[in-house]
Amino acid sequence: MKPEDEPSQKPAAGKPVGKFERQVTRQPPGAAKPAEVVRFEPRPRANAEAARPPAAPAKPAPPPALPQKPDTERTPLAPPGKRIRLIQGAGKVRYFALPRPRPPAAAEPPPAAAAKQTLPAAPAAKPAAPAAPAPKPVSPPACTVKRLKLTDRDRQLMGLLATTRYLSLEQLQRVISPGRNLIDLHKRTLALGGEGKYGVERPYLKRLSYRNYLGEPETAWMLTPLGYNVAETVLATPPRRPTAETGANFIEHGLFANELYVQLLEAPLRQALAAARLRAEHEHRPSRSFTRQKAEIYARAAHPGLRWHSHDEVRLPWREYAQGKHHARVIIPDATLEIPGAVMGVDPRFGEATRFAGRRIFLEAETGSQTMVPEGDTKPGATVNKLDRYTTYVTAYAEGAVDGDRASWYTRAHPDNFEPTVLFLVRNAGREAAVNRAIAEWQRQTPGNQDRIQARALTVEKAAAWFLSMLGATWAVAAPPATATGKRPHPEQKAPRVINSAEYNVLSGYAKSSHALHQRHRADVRSRGEAPPEYPEETEAMNALLAKLFR
């Protein structure tokens, strides 16, 4: 390093006073031009100008741009962004658009005022990370409430569930959608229960899961509080709402008792389907006609000829005197069936023939979990013990009776004069025979039991046939007609109109008398030499209609 001579003591105005040093790095031959480093050390001044900060160096002008030869062969003179046409040799034509010029870059800020240094500049500090953008306000989701229009079929379904408390999907299909696909009803119950693709926000139904006696998972449906509100619109009497949740162990037991009610409702529906199929066979398109007719065939929740009460609606409280004191007792039947209508029977208290206003049947579902004849009184669920309790409730005098009042616990709780009957529902014929033998032995051991209360055991199918025989021909009439929803029936759904022989004779006699009157009138006009009047235009049509009816 070779230091140069110091500058003069009187430097030019505006130039700094100091010491320059130049350093050159030698390179081997053939290498690039060596780098040159110039250093400057300012000398402090004694006068006031030394305290003045040096002026900022002027920004060097940018180097002039090198002239570029325009590409006149490929870049025609045209405004940027405009689509132009370029004609090339051999008759070729090419279309393209010129690129638009980019916007000029932002000007760099001037450097801070400082002493001029020709040393390599320090690396620029990393720019600060841009601030995170403010989170966009999240708008509330759109209203996704799914609305479901309730039909009369849906309301009747809820009325049946309010009456029986719960039913399986197969039982609902037999009374609500007879002769139709089960999948459609499954989707509808899911929607009413708030499940599936079209589930409502406030469900009307609730799913009950349980296991049958084989351990297989099963499903039943019951109502929610909103479903009971809808059921009140189709029932004559508002249903009593359950106060406790149904246990999974009792669901199968209750469904077995409800099967009797389902079969009673199913019988007139089968008759209606058979009649609709017979009418559809005489139509131009039988399949469409039958589909249209069966759309209005389903059970109704309200029936004047039948009243069904579930297990939590009927409680039979009474008191029994035993071992020197009174004990409070209660009987809760699995279901109670009431059939209004005059019937002759025997008074359970006095054994006299009495005319009752109807029958009240207390149903007990015998699934085989209880014994029939226990060894003691420790099993109140046994068949014979149930008979003893029912007999005492029906025949024993109630407490607080005044002189001359011979009312029993049953007549005091039910003053409607309905004949009491106990019916045991069993699964098969073998159990039916065994329970009937136990009832006969119980009646033989206690004299007078046969006249005190009516009791028997039947399968569900035989019990349904027995009750249908009680209801008679009025049961099919008791079901509301197909137009109970208020819809206008299709012309093809109307029953065919027929006339009997007496009505045909009246119609035929009137037509013959009218024709004879026209003949006499024509003869009188012809006798006067005038032109007789013509017969009515409907004469031929009337004769053809009479001939058709006669066949």
The per-residue pLDDT for 398 is 77
Q: Are strands 454-459 and 418-426 parallel, antiparallel or unpaired?
A: parallel
Instruction: Report yes or no: 359 and 338 within 8 Å, Cβ to Cβ.
Output: yes
Residues 6+ apart with CB under 8 A from 448: 351
Give whole-number Cα distances, 219 to 171, 186, 257, 258, 481, in Å: 11, 11, 16, 15, 31
What are the boundaries of each domain within the chain?
A: 154-294, 307-478, 501-550
Instruction: Report yes or no: 363 and 335 within 8 Å, Cβ to Cβ.
Output: yes
**Closest to 330 measured CA to CA, from 320, 317, 319:** 317
The per-residue pLDDT for 324 is 75
Determine the 3-state secondary structure of 421 from DSSP: strand
The per-residue pLDDT for 28 is 62
The per-residue pLDDT for 540 is 80
pLDDT in tens, 202-248: 999 999 988 887 788 889 999 999 999 999 999 988 888 888 877 77
Mean pLDDT, the chain cut into blocks of 10 residues (551 residues total): 47 51 57 54 54 61 60 48 52 54 57 47 54 55 62 94 94 92 92 90 92 85 94 90 81 92 92 90 89 90 88 87 79 91 64 74 84 63 83 80 68 86 92 91 74 85 89 54 40 51 76 85 87 83 75 55
Beta bridge partner(s), residue 40: 20
How is residue 86 written in tokens?
Answer: 């370029």
The per-residue pLDDT for 259 is 94
CA pair distance 318, 335, nearest whole angstrom: 18
The per-residue pLDDT for 148 is 83
Helix H or strand E encompassing 437? helix 429-445
Q: Please, what is the Cα angle at 411 between 408 and 415, to 5 degrees? A: 155
Beta bridge partner(s), residue 355: 344
The per-residue pLDDT for 454 is 85
Q: What is the 3-state secondary structure (H, E, C) of 297-329?
A: CCCCCCCCCCEEECCCCCCEEEEEEECCEEEEE
pTM above 0.75, yes or no: no
Instruction: Report yes or no: 348 and 451 within 8 Å, Cβ to Cβ.
Output: yes
The per-residue pLDDT for 505 is 75
CA pair distance 181, 549, nearest whole angstrom: 41
The per-residue pLDDT for 170 is 93
The per-residue pLDDT for 482 is 41
Strand order across the 205-211 sheet: 167-168, 217-223, 205-211
**Closest to 157 measured CA to CA, from 143, 149, 167:** 167
At 133, which amino acid appears? P
Tabulate helix, strand, coil % of the chain (nearest 5): 35, 20, 50
